[in-house]
Amino acid sequence: MSVLSLFTWWREATLGTRLQTWYRGEEVGTDSFGNRYYREKGREGRSARRWVMYHGDIEASKVPPQWHAWLHKTVDAVPVDNGSDATKPWVQPHTANVTGTDQAYYPPGHPSLGGQRAAASADYEPWQPS
């Protein structure tokens, strides 16, 4: 644990979260990204607090749908990772959020790309007073 973890919540869990997890947390499972999921000790069902300790950078998009449902108390049963989603052809592997990086998508005509785009057939024509 570094000194930065006392003040920076976006890189790793803060000291308060670590202490809360150590004293009051009961680990219930992990996902394929290495994130660990906890619930409050001694409480069952929907009354127990639930949280995640991220593996690596804190990025909410790394929480799989089944764990997201459990965290938000949509389901009570702890998810079991059996890899069944991997067989579905529409499931794609996770990619990191690239917003604000050089790899972010900029549509044609964006100011960062020079602000010019090709004309379209339905382009806007401003009103001209007669």
pLDDT of residue 67: 92
pLDDT category of residue 5 using cuts at 50, 70 and 90: low
Average confidence (pLDDT) over 68-89:
80
Answer yes or no: is pLDDT of 27 > 70. Answer: yes
Instruction: Please provide the DSSP assignment of 83-109 as one string.
Output: SGGGGSTT--------TTSTTS---TT
Answer yes or no: is pLDDT of 13 > 80. Answer: no
Instruction: Write the CA distances from 32 to 80, 83, 93, integer angstroms.
Output: 11, 9, 11
Answer yes or no: is pLDDT of 15 > 90. Answer: no
Average confidence (pLDDT) over 79-94:
72
Residue 66's Cα: distance from chain center in Å?
13
Distance between CA atoms of residues 29 and 80, nearest Å: 8
pLDDT of residue 4: 58
- Better pLDDT: 45 or 74: 74
Highest mean pLDDT among 19-28, 80-89, 119-128: 19-28
Token output for 62? 């790394």
pLDDT category of residue 72 using cuts at 50, 70 and 90: very high
Domain ranges of the chain: 3-82
| Of residues 48, 52, 70, 72, the one with CA closest to residue 62 | 52
